[in-house]
Structure 1
Amino acid sequence: MSLHPAAPEGLDGLTAAYAHTVQAISDLGHSLRPGDEERPTACPGWTVLDQFAHVVSLEAWVQGEAVPDVDPGAGEARGITEVVDRFLESRRGRSLAELLEELDGLVADQVHHLGAETTSPDEPRIGPFGPTTLLGLMESRVLDLWVHEQDIREAIGRPGNLDGPAAAHTVRVLFDALPRIVARRAEVPAGHAVILDLTGPVVGRAGVRVEERDGRPHGTPLFSGDPEHHVDVTTTTITMSTQAATRRCAGRVSTDDTHHVVHGDEEIARRVLDALVITP
């Protein structure tokens, strides 16, 4: 796997990516034009203002706020989705200025804790998906915040921050998941390899060779720096931009609406792209 710019490393790197992304979200909020708050976003039923309410409410949740006792609205949501809906509903009706003020306070508290000498990356935390460590929580938060920043940018027609640390982190999470995606979810057969080639602004390349082990498909990473056995495989390369790859892996666009170029087996490429979503 190769990646440029490099993804942030450790708690210090993730803290910087977190602060940078939240600042970008805040800056967007303070510069919205009339009518922007009501614009629909790629999250069904969510406006731009709802995106800000979600960012704020989820930040409050991971910092210890109890799940609000409110009606999450229509639908049959359960589990994590219902909790997210309850937190979002708890902030509906608040103005953008109120949401941004709350976000500034929450982020200041979090950054202060993250930078304290006594803070350990192994500190137990409860994240959206259950018990984790502070490092694991920040890995999740940086990805989630950046994806919602991109939701807002897309809705208001203001692209940007596609080459920052959170963008690189999101691509690395995608690349780390690629062996499982290719071998298990896409069910690419043994004897095939798939390469994902991103053209930028985050430039990266990751590949997976599928082998059969104990009767099950196993994805072996390529370009890992380890000695590789050069076995005969049929290779399919999928080339696309950072924006196309990250919107697809966030589930914001369909495979049909994802601009990409395939060199190799079109059917295998389709199966991998269909399975590429890594967010809930």
Structure 2
Amino acid sequence: MTVHPSLQTYAEAWTHSIEAISELVTPLVEGEWNRRTPCPGWSVRDIVSHIIGMECEMLGDPRPIHSLPRDLYHVTSEFARYMEMQVDVRRHHTAPEMTSELEYTIIRRQRQLRNETRSPDTMVRAPLGAEQTLELALRMRAFDTWVHEQDLRTTFGRPGNLDSPGAIVARDVLVLGLPKVVAKHAGAPANSAVVFDVHGPVEFMRTVRVDAEGRGTVDGTPSLGPLSTIALDWETYVRLACGRVRYDAVADLVKVEGDQELADAILRNFAVTP
């Protein structure tokens, strides 16, 4: 690959996950494409349509001209409407149409990555007409693709790749959302700390510190006197942080030491994905 060294990690993580998705969906018969997934409002077909659409946008393809139905309950924001467009336009595509378009899109994107010579700070297209750096765009594609790979694995009862390159990218992306969850959404008091102890295929410990002005930051150093310590396994962390499950449904998988009320507020506001 000629991709910039700082982009290599994201390119490899994306490749690993999207090839796993292709392997999961290629053998599916027509009816299996309609199965519900943990991703709110989306079927197997919808997830694959979303992935195809986002990769086509990375390739610079024009967005489809399409009017969304008014009865999509999960579309509650302009961002959701933007994402739904690539999904709804493919809702009546057959299984062979889906797998062939996915395969062709993967081939095109892999060719693009092999020939990528732009610097990481090059500004590229982002949702809703915005721009983002190429590095952020590739990071978010690696993250998004891995999360949807896990959605499909859950749907078909084929667990795996919880410690893949995409999982490490996902860890780093999700951890960035912790300060907002703790300081803003859960309202942790000033000059306090909350520790997250995650075990399983991906293990890490992070401390969110709330300063005197109520601003949160996250780091990897331990806290001597946290208000709460929240321990949970990696898969449960991902499901909560990506809004795939509510805290009440997995409370028995979470161990809390310290302020239980604060921990409950954090875990009930844990989702950081749009």
Residue 24 of structure 1 aligns with an amino acid whose one-letter code is A
Q: Is the 1:113–1:119 Cα contact (8 Å) retained in structure 2?
A: no
Which residue of the other structure, out of 223, 238, 251, is the alignment partner of 2:243? Answer: 251
Distance 2:183 2:134 in 1: 30
Q: CA deviation at 1:201?
A: 0.7
| TM-score, normalising length: structure 2 | 0.88
Distance 2:188 2:19 in 1: 40
Distance 2:76 2:272 in 1: 19
Residue in 2 that maps onto 1:122: 121
Do the aligned partners of residues 78 and 68 (structure 1) sit closer, same or farther apart at CA in structure 2, a change above 3 Å counting?
A: farther
| 1:2-26 Cα distance to aligned partner (Å, 9 max, x none) | xxxxxxx830010000000000100
Q: CA deviation at 1:77?
A: 4.4
Structure 1 or 2: more helix by fraction? 2
Residue 37 of structure 2 aligns with an amino acid whose one-letter code is T
Which residue of the other structure, out of 21, 26, 40, is the alignment partner of 2:17? Answer: 21
Q: Is the 2:198–2:204 Cα contact (8 Å) retained in structure 1?
A: yes
Distance 2:29 2:193 in 1: 47
Q: List structure 1 runs of 4+ shifted beyond 6 angstroms.
A: none
Q: CA deviation at 1:46?
A: 2.1
**More divergent stretch after superposition (16-25 vs 256-265):** 256-265
* 2:210 counterpart of 1:210: yes
Q: Is the 2:55–2:109 Cα contact (8 Å) retained in structure 1?
A: no
Calculate percent identity across the aligned residue pairs. 33
Which residue of the other structure, out of 264, 269, 273, is the alignment partner of 2:263? Answer: 269
Q: Is the 1:255–1:274 Cα contact (8 Å) retained in structure 2?
A: yes
* 2:140 counterpart of 1:140: yes
Q: CA deviation at 1:171?
A: 1.2
Q: CA deviation at 1:175?
A: 1.6
| 1:159-200 Cα distance to aligned partner (Å, 9 max, x none) | 111110111111111222222321222210024211111111
Distance 2:47 2:117 in 1: 33
Distance 1:211 1:233 in 2: 14
Give 3-state SS (helix, strand or coil) of 2:158's partner.
Answer: coil
Q: CA deviation at 1:218?
A: 2.1
Residue 274 of structure 1 aligns with an amino acid whose one-letter code is R
Give ranges in structure 1 of 5+ residues lacking alignment: 1-8
Residue in 1 that maps onto 2:27: 31
Number of residue equivalences: 264
Give 3-state SS (helix, strand or coil) of 1:217's partner.
Answer: coil
Structure 1 or 2: more strand by fraction? 1
Distance 1:115 1:253 in 2: 37
Q: Is the 1:191–1:233 Cα contact (8 Å) retained in structure 2?
A: no
* 2:54 counterpart of 1:58: yes
Residue 72 of structure 1 aligns with an amino acid whose one-letter code is L
Distance 2:226 2:197 in 1: 16
| 1:97-123 Cα distance to aligned partner (Å, 9 max, x none) | 322222222222222222336232122
Residue in 1 that maps onto 2:83: 84
Distance 1:190 1:233 in 2: 14
Q: Structure 2 matches for 1:123-272, cutoff 5 A? A: 123-128=122-127, 130-212=130-212, 216-224=213-221, 233-258=225-250, 259-272=253-266
Distance 1:156 1:206 in 2: 32
Distance 1:86 1:176 in 2: 28
RMSD between superposed Cα atoms in Å:
2.2
Q: Is the 1:67–1:83 Cα contact (8 Å) retained in structure 2?
A: no
